[in-house]
Chains A and B, each alone.
Chain A
């Protein structure tokens, strides 16, 4: 009986639907808006003063043909410059505290209670040092970068960026709101992938998902900053090195945007053919942010994220690295075997086996790339006098020291540049891959999104390496 009822209803609905015709939805929406307008007329008082005049003036400037783009670049530059300059000092302090004071203390405690060497190594040299290192290097820049970014977000600037850039997105067959999801990707690619839900049409949304990885994330900014400071900042007199490293980090971020456009264009010409269906973006009014409150909440938020990720990802990775550097098979450790195996290809494309291995270890989280590289380099070279032994993350409180180790590991300017490039162009981290699968529900697109950037990374590093070798000799 129940089922009959349902069928009755559905049948009647079908018939009536045919009767009311195709304009039904239009009439309904018009009806609702008419009601809304009538109610509003009765309860709202707008006095005659010109509203939003300041907003309009600001919009005229921020979206003008002449100033729109320079202002965008300028704002990003200022934020990065403050980050790079400002992070130095707290980073050093944290490193001193965590690695120079607490680390020996823990070691002391361990030996005083007679902990076996392998447990002590596993816990303190593996887990604790990885944790400490990630916190010292990652936390300060991110705790400076993101509060500033959040201020912009709260002010209402991001939709203007999407508005300005939409023309380019349209030309590459993508959606202007991709600018917003990209910005979210700067915090975390997984969050950026989820944010693509604001894009209505499935085709453009897929493009946004696949290209989100070209936004440097939380775990990659600090890598860029550190390598830029060591290898590129050092090319110029010390007075300008801060500026130089800022410029090169901005360059990488811009290159990421360029690759995002290129990939969007390629995808919409090949696998994801089609036209952009709709683009409608509401530009919210500017709202002055509550400065200190925003800074405070964003700071706490970032700190918690970095600490949490350090605990969940860096600590186990530290353990894995320590183990692989201490378990020997035949005459070499597991780590050595793998490095040896990948080194030829690595060097060929201007990287090396250590870097490639580090990127495999760092699939769960990009944060641990640099600590892994340093530690494996030390272990692989058996550098005497640096570090505390195989698979131990050493104290890194000065960039000079890091540089010394890397140079001993055979690093050149080319390795530095290519590491920066590869850090931009490689597979997304495992969380992001999982998120992509959840959002697309398709193994095919998850695979494309994961593998495409690595291939691009290899190709770009290869090209740069060969050209560098031809030019520099």
Chain B
């Protein structure tokens, strides 16, 4: 592609090596000014790496970057900012106990004549930007008190405040609720109307369809294609991305539920502020059944999981696995009663980042006879075991068993956790946001795995903010609202709108069965 002024960003022939590993190999990206350009690729394809090169966090080993037709060398993020590039990372970089305004001006403080911080002026400027693009945020709220969606807006504001004309969003929707995603898309559109250019990384094909003009696909570090979004459907995009056809709908036979394995009875749990987050909640999961809990974030899902895994106290009620009460014991006791949990916060609860993949794989097993020898670790065994899981779950790069898990891409870190928990051979598998940050190929795999485990007689509790996921995968769909299950349906008996309404606190439909 020719270099032209029409393009806000042109990256030509970008190659990036990590040691001898080619994370990017001769990749091209041409982004038209004033467009929304999506980048699509599997986990570990090199999307974040490509954007980090553009933002000056990494230096490419080969290739050129042009901004508005001019060749540039972006040595570090400061240079990128000078060129009007802003980036919102997947993991936010905000100071928790600072206010929104303080966070936004951090590093670019406006001072009045005597070197005194001019907060008032900064605040005004921020309010201007807020108004212009409909980025509703309270400039005086502290970061720790606002939701993840709000925090993301602060990150966007931060970039705009620094004069960004080109905005990079790395998986911005992975942490958002469906409502927040809609709002984000409308913000993106208002930015485009103002002449800004947006590059967005996302695994959600629906969002690409809803938001973007053009989509560039990369696979294992290779440039595959760039297509106008209007001309392709979701299946085509998925196929291009993975290299073979992908089923977007889960294939499964009707469930054959057996005995009740897991039972929660009138459970009440308080959150860290002492308010009741889970209120008198009851639910049952049977052998060979997937129960999905649909709900908007913040309706008690987090506290429910913490209570089941004994990370927090249950105020009242019981939690029973195979008839044994486990509430208010220890996380270890829960694991020993054959409950496995895929936690939603993979970096905080799920993984020890400096540990190798193998060390992470055995974190619940190192103490079992199989993996120890007279108090020593059986390292060969752990290696062998990990190698097999890496292969079974297609964790990339292959042969990463002795690499720190920190070096894996976000999606592959997630796969490590899924592989570990599923292979525990649990009686109850709790999957909380199991596909967050995964590409469609990997999502298909995870969903298949859940169904396979179900068919093998496991009880599965799926908690997800993705309504699609709950609707598609679950045999029984529970709706959680304000800390309690407000409705329960069998799969196929209910449509998305009804569930959506209930999630938002709407009145329950008549033929719904409550708390069976």
The judgment on whether A and B are partners is no
